[in-house]
Amino acid sequence: MKRREFLITCAALGALPRVVFAQAKPATSAPANAWPQFRGSSSLTGISSTTIAPAPKLAWTWEGGEAFDSSPAIVDDVVYAGTATGELIAVGLADGKLRWRYKAGEAIGESSPAVANGRVFIGDLIGVVHAVNVADGKPAWTFKTQSEIKSSPVVVGDIVLMGSYDGRLYGLDAATGKQLWAYVTENYVHGTPCVVNGVAHFAGCDEVFHAVDVKTGKERFATSATAYTGASVALVNNVAYFGTFDNQVLALDLASRKVLWRYEHPDRKFPFYSSASVIDGTVVLGGRDRMVHALDAKTGKARWTYMTRARIDSSPAVAGGRIYVGSNDGRLYALDLASGKVVWQHDEGAAITASPALANGRIVVGSTEGRLLCFS
């Protein structure tokens, strides 16, 4: 029996040897003036410190020609996003004017840019990781994996983490693109790794929850994720929250490797693809059942649900007690965190599967009709 299989079996039987890990730090918010990566910060909690107007107005749009599945990043008043035409674009946050465009592969899918150290990092659907200079949009380096990339990069110091459909999580030197290590799984690495205390956490398409040392690429532990998982993990106080294709949302305690609770809607049995936001003891995510679900982080009990008109693959972003999330019904919603009531919405008329980015009082998100939208 392989070591990983042994660990998973032990975890399922409740016989895993006790290992003491440092307590995870509290959830970090993206700063008010930036949203530097997918979900805003490396803990992937989807929280921003910015203040959004009660009734935001459409400030500008940028026509990308084809779908935006890539969620934007915002740093130094510049918006970065990948397009289905295979371009990484940089546009001004204030005016929506194009700063530069960089041609990556044939298409950029759900991989969303991460901005750090004067560079933008992103993956494309032919399996190439790109590092592009922020100043001029010129390439710094590329790295080829063996299959398509839908995971988003996370930059930890001088290391870029990137998952690939070749079943590997890569650690790359941020300066040169040189491979430092590759952690092998048994299926696609679709979700973006959540990094807390120097450990990358992700629930894989191999139905395994992985914890990997960022510096060495060595496995810290592997345990059952209970089901095929496409969503990224949010981590708060040593508990990982994520939805699965088995129609459930889980809270997994990292110290004991035990599932603290499972949530499943009593009537509507659909997968969860949206990644969760976690704030003030509440877990919020969208479902392919067309609903936004708000759950108690301690018990997994539903606090409220809100029904849209189509499935929700967009991952929610939170600021000022409001949840911002797109739906395939063509609308961008703002919901009250406490009650789930709609307090604002924009009808774009095209599905919004990408996730909103929040910074400097603005909301930026792309649509499947190729429009990048900015509200302020």
Tell me phi and psi for residue 51, to 5 degrees: -115, 120
12's enclosing H/E stretch is helix 3-13
Contact assessment for residue 59 and residue 343, using Cβ atoms and an 8 Å cutoff: no
- Determine the Cα–Cα distance for residues 113 and 174; give it in Å rounded to an integer: 14
Q: DSSP 3-state assignment of 179? A: strand
Contact assessment for residue 148 and residue 106, using Cβ atoms and an 8 Å cutoff: no
Structure confidence at residue 374 (pLDDT): 98
Q: Both tokens of residue 103?
A: 């041609």
pLDDT in tens, the chain (376 residues): 343 443 434 443 333 333 333 333 334 799 999 999 999 999 999 999 999 999 999 999 999 888 999 999 999 999 999 999 999 999 999 999 999 999 998 899 999 999 999 999 999 999 999 999 999 999 999 999 999 999 999 999 999 999 999 999 999 999 999 999 999 999 999 999 999 999 999 999 999 999 999 999 999 999 999 999 999 999 999 999 999 999 999 999 999 999 999 999 999 999 999 999 999 999 999 999 999 999 999 999 999 999 999 999 999 999 999 999 999 999 999 999 999 999 999 999 999 999 999 999 999 999 999 999 999 9
pLDDT in tens, 208-259: 999 999 999 999 999 999 999 999 999 999 999 999 999 999 999 999 999 9
Alpha-helix residue ranges (DSSP H) falling in the chain? 3-13
Residue 170 β-bridge partners: 162, 182
Amino acid at 204: G
Nearest Cα to Cα of residue 38 among 96, 104, 122, 94:
122
What is the pTM assigned to this prediction?
A: 0.93
Sequence-ordered list of residues with C-beta below 8 angstroms from that of 302, at least 6 positions apart, any chain: 263, 265, 293, 294, 295, 296
